Chains A and B, each alone.
Chain A
Amino acid sequence: MTTQKMTIAKALNAGMRKAMEDDPKVVLMGEDVGKLGGVFRVTEHLQKDFGEHRVVDTPLAESGILGTAVGMALRGYRPVVEIQFDGFVYPAFDQIVSQVAKMHYRSLGKIRLPLVIRIPYGGGIGAVEHHSESNEAYFAHTAGLRVVTCATPEDAYWMMQQAVASDDPVVFYEPKRRYHERGFIELGEAAPYELHEAVVRREGTDVTLLTYGPMVKVSLAAAQAAELEDGPDVEVVDLRSLSPLDLDVITASVAKTGRCVVVNEAQTFLGMSSELAALVQQECFYHLEAPVLRVGGYNIPYPPSRHEEHFLPDLDRVLHAVDAALAY
């Protein structure tokens, strides 16, 4: 067993490399994923090491990328597709929702589409329009897709391999502003968690934060700040999987704390936070001491980046919601 310290970006790269070594049918496809190694360098060096047939620089057309990946999967390949930025997935929406999600169902289980669709998502990097969106709910809403996201290098490394190994299509959301966060990975061991398992990142007794992706770090910082101020004891649950949800871990935590705040970057209206709030009130009704509160993006288009520090939930907004939950 060797322990390595690496960034989320490097861990994703290492996870893909391992998957490609393990299975010659794994093929990477996307815009600029080859020589350049992707605009975030997540696929760096992979074309050099595995060749142009396995790391394919595609034409600049997202529906074309997804549609040809479907065809490759029908021929027995396991394509890992990169969408360059969250806001560029919409041209592929039709292929993902109409074809990728439904193929196994409409073929009565005869056709499997083991696709991974990688999407760097979320804001906080001062980007121009269409480069900072959190559109995970569109895909989590669609039956037939699995949707996951990582918050640590360890998860990036293992969840990528698990997503590639899955016989179902997996939409893999990568928190782009956390690409360069470092952490330790134990290589060569079995994955520490199942792909669709939620993980309690910090134990607490007073209130549960349900969060994922880029907001895990913010939520942990909020919990830490509360502790330093002798405030409430905050439990932080990293959902990791958005479809399916790990209802057991979620309900066990809220049943214990009796209070729940959902924290994500996405607009709250009809988003993941809406579904989580509905589920928690349904499953934990008699344990709840307060309504389920939500902290998320405001229900406006993603604003110009000079506004984003106020659009995106931060430590103070999370603590504000925690205080509100405890005030009931």
Chain B
Amino acid sequence: MSDDDVAQVPSSAPATHEPPATDITDGGPDMVQFLDADGQRVEPGTVSEPYAAYLDDVDDEALRSLYRDLVLVRRVDSEGFALQRQGELGLWPSLLGQEAAQVGAGRAMRTQDYAFPGYREHGVAWCKGVDPLNLLGMFRGVNHGGWDSAEHNFHLYTIVIGNQMLHATGYAMGVQRDGDVGTGDPERDTAVMAFTGDGGTAQGDYNEALVFAAVAQAPVVFFVQNNHWAISEPNDRQFVIPPYQRARGFGFPGVRVDGNDVLATYAVTRAALERARSGQGPTLIEAFTYRMGAHTTSDDPTKYRIAAEVDAWRAKDPVDRLRKHLVAQGLVDDQWLADLDAEADTLADRIRRECQQMPDPPHEEMFEHVYAEPHPLVEREAAAFAAYMAGFDED
């Protein structure tokens, strides 16, 4: 091999992309954004422009509706946190700071589109019509997830990081076999969304899912919420090349989007879903956002990150950002905002009350649904347990 051949080997990073920013609050020049941190519409540059058309039908009512979802999702989350602190839940993983990433993605999905969440996707669950009480019940320990995933096209939460990426890809391969891709019928064409975080991108299952999806050209959108912290480990412990740039190496496009800008996440996800539904294959979206709270209620983030970083991200808050925009544009007034707060209070009251009143399941139910068909060992043990418990009644 001559020196000339060596010189022709391309660098691993695409030439059109800048290296990732070292300031973790800066998403860099590749990031799609339509609303800045002050709620001002940003004139789309070459990076954002291709997605601008996906906001053409977002009228004033749609903007208010997006804001309503952001506020209610945040309220559900804060109620989950409070219920854990009151001893009603065993654990709560807060989505604080990630509302715009999740609501933008969730609202971009059509009814027939299927979502595979991790365990922090309360905002996507909301958009897919899952009652927040179901999420609370799971973290209360009443069940492992009480909702009907087929009814909502929202799979059960997956706690083992990355497992669900493969499930989404396989589901999308099933969609292909059903012929529900590229028909041009908006009621029929179906896409699948897989949600994970920056930590999840290190998992084998994540990387295998991207390989399988690319090879099959499956109608799946990988939505990585880069909230910058995998419990205590920052991005530089998870990857060298950011997720959106790695997508190209798997064989499909990757987009970095301002995860705190609901217009941007909505537009970019709509574009990716349309691409998937029309049979053009997978897309990876990296939503550049921040986990404002702890990993879960069991975590203490002050041990591993500095307050200044959290403050810098607070200034980019996704909910404040859209409110400032709505107010500046005269699309909402004080009364409308007060009514929304009252609606959030009512929702919080309901889920708090119903969570507190949620009964423990009868213990014999722990033997149910181990198998779909009869299994003698489970039956013998269930009978023995019932007899054992009945022995206490006789005393």
Contact = CB atoms under 8 A, between A and B. Distances in A.
Interface of A: 27, 53, 58-59, 61, 63-64, 66-77, 91, 94-95, 98-99, 102, 104-112, 143-144, 146, 166-168, 243-245, 247
Contacts of B165: 67
B232 to A, nearest CB: 23
Interface string B170-183: 11111111100000
B371 A71 contact: no
B171 A75 contact: yes
Contacts of B150: 110-111
A77 B178 CA distance: 10
B202 interface: no
Given A59-B215, A94-B160, A94-B163, A107 B174 contact: no
Contact of A63 (B146, B205, B368, B377): B205
Contact of B166 (A27, A63, A107): A63
Contacts of B156: 106-107, 111
Nearest to A243: B377
A272 to B, nearest CB: 14
Contact of B160 (A70, A72, A73, A99): A99
B47 to A, nearest CB: 32
A91 B204 contact: yes
Contact of B174 (A71, A99, A166): A71
A72 B170 contact: yes
Interface in B142-199: 143-146, 148-150, 155-156, 158, 160, 163, 165-178
A167 B373 contact: yes
A238 B116 CA distance: 42
A63 B373 contact: no
B372 A74 contact: no
A102 B157 CA distance: 13
A136 to B, nearest CB: 16
B372 A112 contact: yes
Nearest to B143: A108
A168 B174 contact: no
B170 A71 contact: yes
Interface stretch (B102-110, B206-214, B240-248, B269-277): B206-214
Interface of B: 116, 143-146, 148-150, 155-156, 158, 160, 163, 165-178, 204-205, 208-209, 211-212, 215, 368-373, 375-378
Nearest to A101: B370
B149 A110 contact: yes
Nearest to B178: A75
A61 B210 CA distance: 12
A168 B371 contact: yes
A106 to B, nearest CB: 4
B174 A63 contact: no
B170 A67 contact: yes
Q: Which 3 A-B pairs have the closest CB atoms?
A: A71-B170, A67-B166, A75-B174
Given A244-B376, A247-B376, A108 B369 contact: yes
B267 to A, nearest CB: 27
Contacts of A74: 149, 155, 167, 170-171, 174
A31 to B, nearest CB: 12
Contacts of B372: 104, 109, 112, 167-168
A11 B169 CA distance: 32
Contacts of B171: 71-72, 74-75
B369 A105 contact: yes
Contacts of A94: 160, 163, 205
B212 A59 contact: yes
A295 B209 CA distance: 42
Given A27-B177, A61-B212, A74-B174, A105 B167 contact: no
5 contacts: A66-B166, A71-B170, A106-B145, A168-B373, A244-B375
A67 B173 contact: no
Interface centre among A68, A91, A244 (most CB of B within 10 A): A68
Contacts of B145: 106-107
A69 B170 contact: yes
A244 B377 contact: yes
Contact of B211 (A64, A71, A102): A64
B167 A77 contact: no
A91 B372 CA distance: 26
- Among B160, B169, B177, B208, residue most surrounded by chain A Cβ atoms (within 10 Å): B208
Contacts of B376: 244, 247
A27 B170 CA distance: 12
A108 B201 CA distance: 30
B216 to A, nearest CB: 8
Contacts of A166: 373
Contacts of A98: 160, 163
Given A71-B171, A72-B174, A75-B174, A64 B149 contact: no
A68 B212 contact: yes
Nearest to A95: B163
B369 A68 contact: no
B208 A61 contact: yes
Nearest to B150: A110
A270 to B, nearest CB: 17
A76 B170 CA distance: 11
Nearest to A145: B371
Nearest to A99: B163
The interface centre, meaning the residue of A61, A69, A112, A146 with most chain B CB atoms within 10 A of its CB, is A61
B146 A108 contact: yes
Contacts of B204: 61, 63, 91
A94 B167 CA distance: 13
